[in-house]
Structure 1
Amino acid sequence: MSKKSILTTVGVLVFLILGFTSMYVVKEGEYKVVLKFGEAVRVVEDPGLHFKIPFIESVSKLPKYQMMYRSQQTQILTKDKKPILVDNYTVWRIDDPEKFLKTAKTVSAGVKRIDETVYNTVRAKLPAINYENIISENTERGNINDEITREVAATLSGDNYGIEVIDVRIKRTDLPDANKESVYNRMISERQSIAARYLSEGDEESKKVTSKADRQATELLAQAEADAKKIIAEGEQQAAKIYNESYGKDPEFYSFYRTLQSYVTTLNNEPVILMPIDSPYTRILLGQ
């Protein structure tokens, strides 16, 4: 084989090697960070074929998608002195690959930093809250999760780790086996005490309402009776006035009318009455 052929072959091989070492592929869901002598010079996010300077530049791959890290279970003492085992998870992503490479360098190191921050934040928050508020799904639990997420995100952002914390959630809060029965019994006792207090307060309030209603009913009845007596008296007074005015206009007719009324009363049930035939009462009765 001639020297020229050898040189040509070597040249082709060198060209192919340079060509292959200068190319790299970016896939969906990943960053490719181009490093020059160990320093990041650019970040490539667009999927496809890209080029770098062979032997001078190297490429490091970082995930672009969201990742979830589940923290190790840890024991914490709540505000009301109940020991609990807390299990939480963190959803995060790399939002600045250059910063991430300068600080954490690897995903495992980034996860370790997240774990430390979440651990410190959870241990600072939960001891200031009662156990029953921590386990409440619809009230305190949501507020705690939001507060922890904000504080963890702020801490990592301040440290320039290039990490975006999307969510930190308390997945589970369990009591240690040795404490479950005593804690449950204490909670039952507390609930029974609260129920007894509510029943006592309700009974006392019921008595107050009933007493007030009875007093108001008595007052209303007394007022109604007084008003009725007043109305009756006014009616009788008005009737007497009308009678007097009527009687004064024709005394003879009034006397005759009163006599007729006495007949109705006297002759009721058809009694036997003995009267002188010539008495005025008899004459009027006989129509004379």
Structure 2
Amino acid sequence: MNKKGIIGIASLIVVVLLLSNSLFIVNEGEYKVVLQFGEAKKIHQDPGIKMKIPFIETVTSLPKYQQVYESNPTPILTKDKKPINVDNYTVWRIKEPQKFLQSLRTVTAAQGRIGDAVYNTVRRKLSEVEYGNIISENTARGNLNDDITREVSEMSERQNYGIEIVDVRIKRTDLPEENKDSVYNRMISDRQSIAAGYLSEGDEESRKITSNADRQARELIAKAESDAKKIIAEGEQEAARIYNDAYGKDANFYKLYRTLESYVTTIQGETVIMLPIDSPYTQVLLGNK
């Protein structure tokens, strides 16, 4: 091979090396940071082929998508002094790459800062809440997650980390193994005591209702008996008045009527009676009266 051929091949190799060190690709879901002597000079966010100064500038990648950092379970004391192991996770993303590189530089360093901030916030928040409220998913847990997310996000903004805290969630709140039995037994005892209190209150209320119903029943019966006696007395009084009026109009007829009524009472069935001749009954039957 002649000298020109060697020079041509060498030139081609140099061109290829220059191009390979000048061009780079920005993929979807990443930032490409152009560094010069370790300092960020330019940040590319849009996908495509980009250029840099060969051998002088270098390129590093940062994730653009949301990431999940899972904290290690840590022991924490609640307000009622119950030790619990808390397991949580944080959803976050790099929002401002320039600030991120200036403050944290790497994803690993960012996860360390996030872990510390979440742990301190969770420990402080849970120390203000009793265990029974922490384990309730529909009450305090939801408020705690929102409060912790807000506080960690505000801390991140104050420190100019260039990241966004999307969400912080408590996954589990477990009792240490050595404390589970005693705590569970105490919880069972507390619930039994509460149940006994409810039963006692129910019995007391039942007695009050029964006593009130009995009193009302006695009052109603007494009033009904009083009204019945009054009606009977009025009826007897009216009957006596009617009898007196009838008797006053025709004394002989009334006397005959009363005598006939006594016959109905005295002579029933096939009763046989002996009557003297001067008996009022005999006189009536003989037509003498």
Q: Tell me the TM-score normalised to structure 1 length.
A: 0.81
Question: What secondary structure does 1:69 align onto?
Answer: strand
- The residue aligned with 2:51 is 52
Question: What secondary structure does 1:41 align onto?
Answer: strand
- The residue aligned with 1:154 is 154
Cα distance in 2 for partners of 1:2, 1:256 equals: 174
| Alpha-carbon shift at residue 85 of structure 1 (Å) | 1.9
1:51-104 residue CA offsets vs partner (Å, 9 max, x unmatched): 123236543322223322121222212211222222222222223333322322
Letter paired with 1:220:
L
1:89-145 residue CA offsets vs partner (Å, 9 max, x unmatched): 222222333332232221111111110110111110111112222223443333322
Question: What secondary structure does 2:53 align onto?
Answer: coil
Cα distance in 2 for partners of 1:155, 1:113 equals: 10
Question: What secondary structure does 2:127 align onto?
Answer: helix
Question: What secondary structure does 1:79 align onto?
Answer: coil
Note the 1:272-287 alignment, pairs <5 A.
272-277=272-277, 281-285=281-285
Cα distance in 1 for partners of 2:277, 2:31 equals: 140
- The residue aligned with 1:170 is 170
- The residue aligned with 1:41 is 42
Q: Which moved more, 1:212-221 or 1:107-116?
A: 212-221
- The residue aligned with 1:205 is 205
2:43–2:97: 8 Å Cα contact kept in structure 1? no
2:85–2:176: 8 Å Cα contact kept in structure 1? yes
Distance 1:267 1:73, change over 3 A: same
Cα distance in 2 for partners of 1:237, 1:59 equals: 122
Q: Confirm whether residue 268 of structure 1 aligns to residue 268 of structure 2.
A: yes
| Alpha-carbon shift at residue 252 of structure 1 (Å) | 5.3
Distance 1:253 1:67, change over 3 A: farther
Cα distance in 2 for partners of 1:240, 1:287 equals: 30
Cα distance in 2 for partners of 1:4, 1:252 equals: 174
| Alpha-carbon shift at residue 168 of structure 1 (Å) | 2.0
Q: Confirm whether residue 99 of structure 1 aligns to residue 99 of structure 2.
A: yes
Q: Which moved more, 1:225-234 or 1:106-115?
A: 225-234
Q: Which moved more, 1:126-135 or 1:29-38?
A: 29-38
Letter paired with 1:232:
I
| Alpha-carbon shift at residue 199 of structure 1 (Å) | 3.4
Distance 1:200 1:279, change over 3 A: closer
Cα distance in 2 for partners of 1:186, 1:223 equals: 55
Q: Which moved more, 1:115-124 or 1:28-37?
A: 28-37
Note the 1:1-288 alignment, pairs <5 A.
9=9, 12-35=12-35, 38-39=39-40, 41-46=42-47, 49-55=48-54, 58-243=58-243, 253-277=253-277, 281-285=281-285
Letter paired with 1:44:
Q
Letter paired with 2:261:
Q
| Alpha-carbon shift at residue 6 of structure 1 (Å) | 6.1
2:26–2:50: 8 Å Cα contact kept in structure 1? no
Cα distance in 2 for partners of 1:248, 1:18 equals: 150
Cα distance in 1 for partners of 2:26, 2:236 equals: 110
1:43–1:98: 8 Å Cα contact kept in structure 2? no
Letter paired with 2:117:
T
2:31–2:64: 8 Å Cα contact kept in structure 1? yes
2:30–2:45: 8 Å Cα contact kept in structure 1? no
| Alpha-carbon shift at residue 254 of structure 1 (Å) | 4.3
Q: Could you list the runs of 5+ residues in structure 2 that have no partner in the other structure?
A: none
Q: Could you list the runs of 5+ residues in structure 1 that have no partner in the other structure?
A: none
| Alpha-carbon shift at residue 170 of structure 1 (Å) | 2.1
How many residue pairs get aligned? The number is 286
Cα distance in 2 for partners of 1:241, 1:160 equals: 111
Cα distance in 1 for partners of 2:101, 2:284 equals: 135
| Alpha-carbon shift at residue 167 of structure 1 (Å) | 2.6
2:33–2:40: 8 Å Cα contact kept in structure 1? no
| Alpha-carbon shift at residue 253 of structure 1 (Å) | 4.8
| Alpha-carbon shift at residue 13 of structure 1 (Å) | 4.1
1:40–1:98: 8 Å Cα contact kept in structure 2? no
